[in-house]
């Protein structure tokens, strides 16, 4: 017997006993009075218990959020420390390179002096000049790279914190690094649903973004995300992430094995088109199949799906810092007339394609 059924049974038995006692002592009027007061007491006890549970849930949630805030604060402090230590190392490196530069400075003069012996030495001197300039520019270039890296990490922390604030999840969000999209892209997708009302979503490649998109759809109260997944293990893993967050109603992971697909007259390995949902799409995320399955593995997405896209659909391509994916974005923009391309400065690189607005007459 479940605890709920046991509670109801005990309550019913108590009410029946009170009514029977009341009847024996004072007839039907006292029986009705006893039944009513016992039921009221029972209802009050149930409400009190529910309130206690809700309070406990809220306390757990507050504790999770406080833990997250502590983690973000300690991450920021760590970054500050790293930043200072990088600066110190760079200064030391700059001094050493400067000293080296002074010694290298002597070499071209010396070589030129030897150039009297033949033309080749003059060429060597010019090469050495270039080497010296290259070495001299090294600390400034490294400083620029470190600054860029720091900016990126801070931006990721900002996006992750904002996502937690927007979603207020009951448990931690799934990983947003490594194989998964970063917090920058995850937040961009969340906003496309919540701010633009794009609720008919298709994803090529399931994972953490499926969960974030499902949260977004839950928050607007309509729509669905379908995620194509070629690997049954990862399909199951994504389903589990959705289930443990109570999001199954907002997302479906479709088992879509890679199969031979003909695209623009050429053979390709891509998701089995037979499993594609019929509904039109207004947000398409292209984040699979993985590049390990073949060159330009994600190219077929637009040729295969273009006829299923709503007029105002946006197509989001992840990982465009990699040459292969960047080329795919450019190839789509060249091949599909009327589509324009925008690059977003995300950590992994993101390209967004949308149809240009029609000219007004
Ligand atoms: C580039 S990942 C991105 C998946 C998803 N759009 C995201 O950002 O979370 C693409 C592929 O990674 C694989 N994948 C999914 N879950 C994974 C996991 N937990 N660990 C490793 N790989 C996973 C899947 O095969 C998926 O198609």
pLDDT of residue 48: 78
Whether 177 is covered by a domain: the verdict is no
Q: Is a pLDDT exceeding 70 seen at residue 120?
A: no
Higher pLDDT, 361 or 26: 26
Ranking 8-17, 35-44, 168-177, 247-256 by mean pLDDT, the lowest is 8-17
Whether 324 is covered by a domain: the verdict is yes
Q: Is a pLDDT exceeding 60 seen at residue 360?
A: no
- Does residue 177 line the site of ligand 1, with CB under 6 A? no
Ranking 43-57, 266-280, 287-301 by mean pLDDT, the lowest is 43-57
Give the residue-averaged pLDDT of 57-86.
74
Which residue, by CA, sits nearest to atom 27 of ligand 1? 205
Give the residue-averaged pLDDT of 169-194.
97
pLDDT of residue 121: 67
Whether 93 is covered by a domain: the verdict is no
Q: Is a pLDDT exceeding 60 seen at residue 359?
A: no
Give the residue-averaged pLDDT of 181-198.
98
Residue 297 CA, ligand 1 centroid: distance in Å: 15
Residue 129's pLDDT band (cuts 50, 70, 90): confident
Residue 179 CA, ligand 1 centroid: distance in Å: 6
Residue 18's pLDDT band (cuts 50, 70, 90): confident
Choosing from 176, 179, 238, 251 the residue with most ligand 1 atoms within 8 A of its CB, the one to mutate for a pocket test is 179
- Does residue 287 line the site of ligand 1, with CB under 6 A? yes
Residue 206 CA, ligand 1 centroid: distance in Å: 6
- Does residue 288 line the site of ligand 1, with CB under 6 A? yes
Choosing from 188, 206, 320 the residue with most ligand 1 atoms within 8 A of its CB, the one to mutate for a pocket test is 206
Residue 212 CA, ligand 1 centroid: distance in Å: 13
Give the residue-averaged pLDDT of 334-346.
95
Number of domains in the chain: 1
Residue 61's pLDDT band (cuts 50, 70, 90): confident
Whether 97 is covered by a domain: the verdict is no
Choosing from 202, 205, 293 the residue with most ligand 1 atoms within 8 A of its CB, the one to mutate for a pocket test is 205
CATH number, domain containing residue 263: 3.40.50.150
Show the domain range for 304: 183-355
Whether 215 is covered by a domain: the verdict is yes
Task: Centre a 10 Å sphere on the Cβ of residue 230 and count the other Cβ atoms it contains.
Answer: 22
Whether 216 is covered by a domain: the verdict is yes
pLDDT of residue 133: 81
Residue 354 CA, ligand 1 centroid: distance in Å: 25
pLDDT of residue 1: 62
Q: Is a pLDDT exceeding 70 seen at residue 223?
A: yes
- Does residue 325 line the site of ligand 1, with CB under 6 A? no
Ranking 86-100, 107-121, 272-286 by mean pLDDT, the lowest is 107-121
Residue 178 CA, ligand 1 centroid: distance in Å: 9
Which residue, by CA, sits nearest to atom 3 of ligand 1? 180
Whether 292 is covered by a domain: the verdict is yes
Higher pLDDT, 131 or 201: 201
Residue 311's pLDDT band (cuts 50, 70, 90): very high
Whether 330 is covered by a domain: the verdict is yes
From the alpha carbon of 186, which atom of ligand 1 is closest?
Answer: 8
Give the residue-averaged pLDDT of 158-185.
96
């Amino acid at each position: 017997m479940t605890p709920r059924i046991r509670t109801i049974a005990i309550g019913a038995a108590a009410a029946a006993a009170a009514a029977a006692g009341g009847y024996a002592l004072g007839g039907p009027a006292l029986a009705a009075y006893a039944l009513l007061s016992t039921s009221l007491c029972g209802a009050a006890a149930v409400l009190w218990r529910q309130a206690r549970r809700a309070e406990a849930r809220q306390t757990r949630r507050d504790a999770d959020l406080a833990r997250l805030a502590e983690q973000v604060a300690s991450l920021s402090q760590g970054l500050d420390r790293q930043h200072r230590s990088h600066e110190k190392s760079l200064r030391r490196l700059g001094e050493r390179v400067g000293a080296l530069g002074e010694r290298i400075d002597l070499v071209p003069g010396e070589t030129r002096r030897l150039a009297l012996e033949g033309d080749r030495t003059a060429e060597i001197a010019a090469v050495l000049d270039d080497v010296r300039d290259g070495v001299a520019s090294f600390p400034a270039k490294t400083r620029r790279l470190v600054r860029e890296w720091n900016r990126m990490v801070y931006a990721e922390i900002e996006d992750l914190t904002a996502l937690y604030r927007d979603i207020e999840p009951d448990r931690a969000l799934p990983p947003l690094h490594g194989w998964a999209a970063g917090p920058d892209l995850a937040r961009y997708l969340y906003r496309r649903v919540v701010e633009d009302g794009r609720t008919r979503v298709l994803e090529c490649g399931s994972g953490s973004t499926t969960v974030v998109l499902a949260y977004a759809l839950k928050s607007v109260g309509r729509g669905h995300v379908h995620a194509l997944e070629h690997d049954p293990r990862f399909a199951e893993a994504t389903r589990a992430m959705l289930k443990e967050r109570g999001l199954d109603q907002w997302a479906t992971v479709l088992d879509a094995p890679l199969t031979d697909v003909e695209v623009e007259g050429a053979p390709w390995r891509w998701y089995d088109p037979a499993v594609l949902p019929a509904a039109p799409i207004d947000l398409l995320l292209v984040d699979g199949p993985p590049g390990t399955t073949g060159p330009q593995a994600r190219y077929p997405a637009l040729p295969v799906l273009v006829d299923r896209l709503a007029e105002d659909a946006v197509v989001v391509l992840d990982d465009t810092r990699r040459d292969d994916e960047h080329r795919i974005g450019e190839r789509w923009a060249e091949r599909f007339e009327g589509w324009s391309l925008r690059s977003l400065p995300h950590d992994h690189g993101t390209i967004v394609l949308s149809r240009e607005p029609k000219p007004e007459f």
